Amino acid sequence: MKIGVLALQGAVREHIRHIELSGHEGIAVKKVEQLDEIDGLILPGGESTTLRRLMDLYGFKEKLQQSDLPMFGTCAGLIVLAKDVEGETGYLKKLDITVARNSFGRQVDSFEAELDVKSIAKDIEGVFIRAPHIVNVENNVEILSSISDKIVAVKQGKYLGVSFHPELTDDYRITQYFIEHIVK
């Protein structure tokens, strides 16, 4: 499979490494035309406001809204996929969820936690960096993981979203799940 990583901002190389460890080809996507060459797309973490601005600028918004390419969003990438964002408007609106940004509180800006992620593994190391959480999901969305009542991983059809950064660990099982069970 050829899996793209949106390469406008954020952790791109780390995601490509996880794609390769999963046994697939990872491609840094910088231009909309490249979307035609891939089977799935990862939207990385970073800063969602910046990511949205750059996606507008390079024409990714319309193209991705119209496309039915499987997508996996991590952290800021999750925010970009959400239908609703508290205090803002949603962007790609592919996941029927509401997210709250920077929602774990200032005192816990960044932290790690072991997560039970349904259908994937019970011992996923979650790295949270000024992370969002999912406040609300519609009926068609499957909740894969929560941490102290905050939803942090969901799946809806071709779309997967997590509020943490799997690419910053050596554990590539979530990326592998995305490719083997959603993209394929």
Active site residues: 75, 165, 167
Q: What kind and span of H or E run contains 174? A: helix 173-177
Give which of 157, 160, 152, 154 is closest to 177, Cα–Cα: 160
CB of 49 to ligand GLN, least distance (A): 6
Closer to ligand GLN by Cβ: residue 104 or 178: 104
Q: Which of 4, 45, 90, 166 binds ligand GLN (CB under 6 A)?
A: 45
Q: Is 110 in the site for ligand GLN (CB under 6 A)?
A: no
Nearest-angstrom CA–CA distance, 177 and 182: 7
- Cβ pair 24, 36 in contact under 8 A: no
- Please report the sign of the dihedral spanned by the C-alpha atoms of residue 63, residue 47, residue 133, residue 41: positive
Q: Which of 13, 25, 102, 122 binds ligand GLN (CB under 6 A)?
A: 102
Q: Is 129 in the site for ligand GLN (CB under 6 A)?
A: yes
Nearest-angstrom CA–CA distance, 26 and 18: 9
Only segment of 86-94, 129-137, 141-149, 169-177 that touches ligand GLN (CB under 6 A):
129-137
Nearest-angstrom CA–CA distance, 176 and 72: 11
Closer to ligand GLN by Cβ: residue 40 or 73: 73
Give which of 70, 169, 176, 180 is closest to 128, Cα–Cα: 169
Only segment of 18-26, 29-37, 88-96, 127-135 that touches ligand GLN (CB under 6 A):
127-135
Q: Is 161 in the site for ligand GLN (CB under 6 A)?
A: no
Nearest-angstrom CA–CA distance, 178 and 72: 7
Only segment of 34-42, 116-124, 125-133, 134-142 that touches ligand GLN (CB under 6 A):
125-133
Closer to ligand GLN by Cβ: residue 9 or 67: 9
- Where on the chain is the footprint of ligand GLN (CB under 6 A)? 45-48, 75-76, 79, 101-102, 129-130, 132
